[in-house]
Structure 1
Amino acid sequence: MRTVHFALAATAAVGLAACSTTGPANKLLTLDGNPPLVIAHRGASGYLPEQTLEAYARAIELGADVIEMDLVSTKDGVLIARHDPNLAISTDVAKHPRFASRKKTIKVDGETQTGWFSNDFTLAEIKTLGGISTDAERPQEFNGKFKIPTFQEIIDFAKAKSKETGRTIAIYPETKNPTYFRDLGLPMEDKVIAAINAAGWNSKTAPIYVQSFEPGSLKYMKAKGLNTRLIQLIDGDGIDMKTGAMTYAVPVDRPYEWTKAGDKRNFDVMVTPAGLAEIKTYADGIGPWKRYIVSIKGSIGSDGKPLDVNKDGKINDADATSVSPTTLVADAHKAGLFVHPFTFRNESRRLAADYNKDGRNEYAVYYKLGVDGVFTDFTDTAIAARADYLKGLGR
């Protein structure tokens, strides 16, 4: 998933409002009637540098049903697990003097970025780098210690862990910035399909979900014979604290392929009944930013600006409260689509005030609304909240 700008963009809480929409007291409202999946977003990224085998191993130890990764391409066309083409964000590349001359400023999906980019590095060079934490509030002592895995290495790892644990560990790859890489002559879709075929996973029942923010990437893979479950991701930039409305800005305003084609619509068209019906023609589920399901609103001062309610010197989700949920989960289910919202995190700055600084309270709201899975940086919290939820249903 893309990293949403923290200025008013993270979690929501509607405990009481949600309860009225949950139907029979002991009924699961998921599309298939099964408990919601816990999807380890980039691994146990709340604890270890993201998208490393060590982070995935930790997530599995904590009970994750699925491990999630973003795929970008190296210069020599190998798919690796990184959230961004810009290696400065999640690796220690800046500490490698031999690569200093490769630092540059370019545009990625319309956003100007400065750093080092995966498409300028061979796999052998990538393997000399280490992953780092992308959040200053999270542990930093593991920075640089764990290497960047390839897509194939993750497939092999998931298979080995499934055998070792006796439970099926699914994977959830994303074609990241597919238009960017295609324009560089490094398209990734055929390689994703080839790897899935080689793994014996090209079916709806295989332990894999394939996701993208760009519909064209999903449609291409489907047309080329990919039969796995496909997920359309739906993004946004932030929340207007005065109104609770979604805001949009480059690069998370719309699929970049739309921008390139001159299509001015934003991601919000995807959550309408017509948008969901369109998605159903090529995908099996949606992965919306969770604010499309439960938004937040802040307190506004006489100057028209959001108030720093908790007086910590910053305006963020902790200064806001949740509003009543939308009908998106029910609408998607009606269209035959499952719903996997992102991203759930434990940091207090990302939790609306009505969650009382406890992420379990946020999960409870979404579980009651019938989401089919959650993307989380903290697998253990999601698992604990799910256990509480199921216990409350007598399951």
Structure 2
Amino acid sequence: MPHLTFPRRPLAALALLLAATAAGAAAPERTPPMPHTATPQATAAAPLGQHGLIVIAHRGASGYRPEHTLEAYRLAIAQGADFIEPDLVATRDGELVVRHENEISGTTDVAEHPEFAARKATKTIDGETLTGWFTEDFTLAELKTLRAKERIPQVRPGNTRFDGQFAIATLKEVIALAKAESRDGRVIGIYPETKHPTWFASEGKHLDGSPIGISLGRKLIDTLVAEGFTDPRRVYIQSFEVGNLIELKREIMPRAGVDLPLVQLYGDFGRDTPYDFVYNLRTGADLARIYGDLGKAIPGGLGKATFGALTETDALAWMKAHYVSGLGPSKTSLIERAPLPAKRDADGDGRALLATRNTGFVHPLLGRALALGLQVHPYTVRAEEPFLTQTANGIDQSALGEALQLYGLGVQGFFIDQPDIGVAARKLFLEQSKIAPIAK
């Protein structure tokens, strides 16, 4: 584990560092001001991040505004994020919109629209049965009549004051925002995720039973090209599935004349399997055509491959050679946690919600990936107590402390719901990592 050398600094800096790992973990609720609207300015040549370290605004500044809204993205940019993350799903008329899932009852007011009551449906997506309303059964114009709401109001009650105010955003609108806010030497990137690509391309059906048949990867690249947003320094493309990333690298991007970095997301290493593996094995698809000889790099082949199989050195080497530039593991898979005997009230609000402690074990994926020259961007740092943990030596850990720990372990960036905390952690990490002469 890398460790920092802390020089003698002013007491204020030391106090900030100690606060990162002290009790009272969750940051107090803040309402940062809404930033002004910037004017477009071409600055595509400027680098992103600092010293190779980036801050990725997870669904925007979703700790302060309802997720995946232009207002959440705009605030994240104002707070200093380098990348904003849009999750992409498709509409009935083939437009890409920004929602965490294609089922939208948890993040919009669709249930309050009687004109759409008949579109409520039950579908099984990636093996999970869901009842609600789905983007593929609405045109873009219809979705634009809905308004966003806070997804986890029990955790983020302050965000509910924005319920009903913000529209569903399109990918084109997110790109336009990133362009407009790139000014004065600063460049904003986007980090899109294709959500359920097998569902949209092969398995899913509209409410009337007709197949969806939309390639999210092709739609994404077509949109990026059409909008002139193809600088590889400004775009990472991520997915929990494997086959669609390979198709992007092997077919879709070369055909479009672009080459953007791809990031393999990971579910739970031991329990989860990329859904496209499950679907293609079940339907008897031509695995060699889809995956090449990836199966030879996995003990037991694709038929026994969990996400954990994709953490092994041979698999990682194959992935780097054929499609990936980076990896996106869960922070709890990367840094193992164990349950506490009893939950703690770490932030003093009268509710005991901190439930785990780090074991001290860091999964070897991190070292293997860094040795291969891969980027590692874990998800998701969040400031609220239910998402936090203790350090291995029993100190209640804040989001700032967690971010410092991740940078210290060697990751090049992370997804965070409160981008201002990520930016503060990077600043502190870089400042306090400098070795100063010892006073005599």
Structure 1 residue 151, shift from structure 2 partner: 0.7
Contact 2:343 2:353 in 1 (8 A): no
1:47 alignment partner, one of 56, 64, 79: 64
1:22 matched to 2:41? The reply is: no
Q: Give the match for residue 219 of structure 2.
A: 191
Structure 1 residues 1-395: aligned runs within 5 Å: 21-22=1-2, 25=5, 34-136=51-153, 137-138=155-156, 139-163=159-183, 166-183=185-202, 184-205=212-233, 207-223=234-250, 224=252, 225=254, 226-236=258-268, 247-248=270-271, 253-262=272-281, 263-280=303-320, 281-299=322-340, 307-310=341-344, 318-354=355-391, 356-394=396-434
- Return the offset for 1:394: 2.1
Question: The residue matched to 2:59 in structure 1 has which SS?
Answer: coil
Task: Give the alignment's Cα RMSD to 1 decimal.
Answer: 2.3
Identity of aligned residues (%): 40
Which one has a bigger Cα radius of gyration? 2
CA deviation map 1:94-129 (0-9, x unaligned): 111111111111101110001000000000001011
DSSP 3-state at the match of 1:200: coil
**1:247 CA drift (Å):** 4.9
Aligned residues: 348
**What is the CA distance between 1:203 and its match in structure 2?**
4.7
Q: Does the Cα contact within 8 Å between 1:178 and 1:187 map onto a contact in 2?
A: yes
- Measure how far apart 1:89 and its partner are: 2.0
TM-score scaled by structure 2? 0.75
Q: With CA pairs under 8 Å and 6+ residues apart, which has the higher RCO, 1 or 2?
A: 1
Question: Are the aligned partners of 1:204 and 1:229 in contact in 2 as well (CA < 8 Å)?
Answer: yes
8 Å CA contact 1:322–1:352 kept in 2: the answer is: no
C-alpha distance in 1, partners of 2:362/2:124? 36
Q: CA deviation at 1:198?
A: 2.3
1:132, CA displacement in angstroms?
1.2
TM value normalised by structure 1: 0.83
* Cα displacement (A) at 1:215: 1.3
For residues 130-168 of structure 1, what are the alpha-carbon distances to aligned partners after superposition, in whole Å with 9 as ceiling and x for unaligned? 1111112212110121011111111111001113x5410
Is the CA contact (8 Å cut-off) linking 1:297 and 1:323 kept in structure 2? no
Deviation at 1:316, TM superposition (A): 6.5
Equivalent-residue separation in structure 2 for 1:160 and 1:311 (angstroms): 42
- Whole-Å separation in 1 of the counterparts to 2:419 and 2:4: 28
Structure 1 gaps of 5+ residues are 1-20, 27-31, 237-245, 300-306
Counterpart Cα distance in 2 of 1:45 and 1:111: 25
Contact 2:4 2:433 in 1 (8 A): no
User: Residues 353, 177 of structure 1: CA spacing in aligned structure 2 closer, same or farther, 3 A cutoff?
Assistant: same
**Map of 2:37 onto structure 1:** none
**Given that residues 5 and 434 in structure 2 are in contact (C-alpha distance below 8 angstroms), is that contact kept between their aligned partners in structure 1?**
no
Structure 2's unaligned 5+ residue stretches are: 7-48, 203-211, 282-302, 436-440
Alpha-carbon separation, structure 2, partners of 1:122 and 1:265: 37
The letter of the residue matching 2:412 is D
Q: Give the partner amino acid of 1:146.
A: F
1:48–1:54 Cα contact (<8 Å) kept: yes
